[in-house]
């Protein structure tokens, strides 16, 4: 049972960054702007969030969750600022959105390495994350068991502040997208911007807002992924930005479906890491580096799922098309 609890706990913590980044991509694409730069945004957000945690020192040890909240805000804020570069290029300058996003993805890891070296010394590419950021049973007045049961393992083995915050973000996103004028107007800018403009909606402003929200959530997702990986920040997020794009497409640009897709893909990633503990999984004895076979599992599943579901996916009609006010 503990293995099951471990798998479920790990699935949740790896689904959290996928969920929040995919929601960010949804906001951008629903407004009409393709955000390929999610990978780079995650890296920038994780970089500054982890740098803050590293320098929090004794104050962070004394106030761990307050320091963690500040780190999340810093990660989201820097991700938002970085995403504005894409917004200016794609919306104001009408540059190709895919190329602009790709350029930011190439810039982010190089910038992260240079800045990390400048702060820590050349060759020191890993920013270690303090252990005090995890939420333990003691925060709720409970004692930590030497042999934790199913529910204690499920709830507290991988419990960080990012988890409840992202759940709240999901609920707020559902409300905003389908229960507010802002959500309706944002979606209209991605479906038929000319019609939206004709009733007085500022398409450029809403597209800027959509990209900015994607940057905010992407930055938070970068920090959440680094925490989930547990090895510190290493100037990469292992392709999770592109993985989140697949989750967004599989979720058909809808928050609830995106949540289900994030859990689905995270489960396969975790299964790939727990194969040695799962009795019925083939062990590939005699195969050199057999571990890599299962590490490929989530990406193989992603490609297979997208092959079978892409025809049913319905992207916003105007996504990727620069809006020109003079055209009808």
For the chain, domain boundaries: 2-135+150-309
Residue (of 202, 312, 198, 304) closest to 253 by Cα position: 312
User: What is the spatial distance between Cα 46 and Cα 237, in angstroms, rounded to a whole number?
Assistant: 9
- Residue 275, pLDDT score: 64
- Residue 172, pLDDT score: 98
- By CB atoms closer than 10 A (0-12, 13-18, 19+), residue 55 is exposed
CATH 1.20.120 applies to domain 2-135+150-309: no
Q: HSE of 154 in the Cβ direction (CA atoms, 13 Å)?
A: 8
Res. 157: pLDDT tops 90: no
* Exposure string for 93-116, b = 16+ CB within 10 A, e = fewer: eeeebeebbebbbebbbebbbebb
- Residue 6, pLDDT score: 85
pLDDT-derived band at 123 (thresholds 50, 70, 90) equals confident
pLDDT above 70 covers a percentage of the chain that reads 93
Give mean pLDDT, residues 253-266. 94
3-state class of 9 per DSSP?
helix
Residue (of 144, 175, 143) closest to 255 by Cα position: 175
- Residue 1, pLDDT score: 56
The residue count for the chain: 328
Res. 135: pLDDT tops 60: yes
pLDDT higher for 284 or 218? 218
- Residue 142 has what DSSP assignment? -
Lowest-confidence segment of 8-12, 153-157, 232-236, 251-255 by average pLDDT? 153-157
User: What is the spatial distance between Cα 233 and Cα 225, in angstroms, rounded to a whole number?
Assistant: 9
Res. 280: pLDDT tops 60: no
pLDDT higher for 8 or 28? 28
Highest mean pLDDT among 34-48, 57-71, 229-243, 302-316: 34-48
């Amino acid at each position: 049972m503990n293995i099951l609890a471990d798998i479920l706990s790990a699935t949740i913590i790896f689904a959290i960054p996928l969920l929040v980044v995919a929601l960010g991509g949804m906001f951008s694409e629903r407004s009409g702007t393709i955000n390929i730069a999610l990978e780079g945004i995650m890296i920038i957000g994780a970089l500054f969030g982890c740098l803050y945690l590293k320098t929090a020192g004794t104050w962070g040890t004394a106030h761990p969750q307050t320091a963690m909240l500040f780190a999340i805000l810093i990660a989201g804020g820097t991700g938002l600022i970085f995403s504005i570069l894409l917004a200016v290029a794609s919306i104001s300058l009408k540059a190709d959105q895919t190329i602009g996003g790709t350029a930011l993805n190439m810039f982010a890891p190089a910038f992260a390495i240079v800045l990390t070296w400048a702060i820590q010394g050349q060759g020191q590419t890993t920013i270690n994350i303090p252990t005090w950021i995890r939420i333990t049973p003691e925060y709720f007045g409970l004692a930590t068991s030497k042999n934790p049961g199913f529910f204690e393992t499920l709830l507290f083995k991988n419990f960080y502040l990012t988890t409840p915050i992202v759940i709240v973000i999901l609920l707020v996103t559902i409300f905003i997208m389908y229960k507010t004028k802002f959500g309706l107007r944002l979606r209209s800018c991605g479906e038929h911007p000319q019609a939206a403009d004709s009733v007085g909606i500022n398409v450029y402003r809403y597209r800027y807002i959509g990209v900015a929200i994607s940057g905010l959530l992407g930055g938070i997702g970068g920090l959440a992924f680094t925490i989930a990986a547990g090895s510190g920040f290493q100037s990469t997020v292992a392709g999770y930005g592109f993985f989140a794009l697949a989750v967004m497409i599989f979720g058909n640009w809808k928050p609830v479906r995106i949540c289900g897709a994030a859990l689905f893909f995270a489960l396969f990633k975790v299964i790939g890491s727990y194969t040695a503990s799962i009795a019925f999984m083939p062990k590939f004895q005699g195969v050199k580096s057999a571990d890599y076979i299962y590490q490929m599992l989530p990406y193989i599943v992603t490609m297979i799922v997208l092959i079978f579901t892409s025809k049913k996916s319905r992207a916003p009609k105007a996504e990727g098309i620069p809006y020109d006010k003079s055209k009808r």
